[in-house]
Homo-oligomer: A and B are copies of this chain.
Amino acid sequence: MVVSILKEDGYENIATAKSVKEALKVASKINPELAILDIMLPDGDGFSLMKQFKKTKDYPILFLTARGEDENKFKGFGLGADDYIVKPFLPKELTLRISAILRRSYKNENPLVKLHASEIDFDRAEVIKNGEYIGLTAKEYNLLSVLYLNAGKIVTIDALCEAVWGDNPFGYENSLMAHIRRIREKIV
């Protein structure tokens, strides 16, 4: 049931297991990014399974629990679970929680913006060209950010001046061009 919900939501690498033993075997093979565990299992319980999991790699874990079963335990102990969901639940609820967990757990990626000749790392204010790291200055960074946020749209000179110099953004048109020149030097 859970599997079909996940498939419909677009997840593709799904593995299942019917027991603690099987789960450990499967997990060691596929290096999962997220585990969904039932608390009640034929040969053990989800908690101890979680602990075994966390020994090898710290991926997020979502628990399924029947109403009343151990709900209060969850609230009391932090215990390392990332979330739990009480059966019965709506498909949407499951997928929402999963995407929330994944977002929380793997948000530490820093999406490099790929250009023709280079990439931009906004977090570090660097452009990477031919493996070389070139720092951006403050104004350059501001400018590029504004341009990136408006990618594909028309951005007037006035709007750029406004964005970079804020109050009293007049008379900087030449400056702006100078900065754009320098940015271009770095990114192409």
Contact = CB atoms under 8 A, between A and B. Distances in A.
Contact of A52 (B10, B95, B110, B124): B10
A34 interface: no
A112 interface: no
Contact of A152 (B48, B124, B153): B124
Per assembly, the copies of the chain total 2
A8 B91 CA distance: 32
A86 interface: no
A9 B152 contact: no
Given A48-B95, A110-B152, A125-B154, 6 more contacts: A8-B48, A9-B47, A9-B51, A79-B99, A79-B100, A124-B153
Interface of A: 8-10, 44-45, 47-48, 51-52, 55, 70, 73, 77-80, 91-93, 95-96, 99-100, 110, 123-125, 152-154
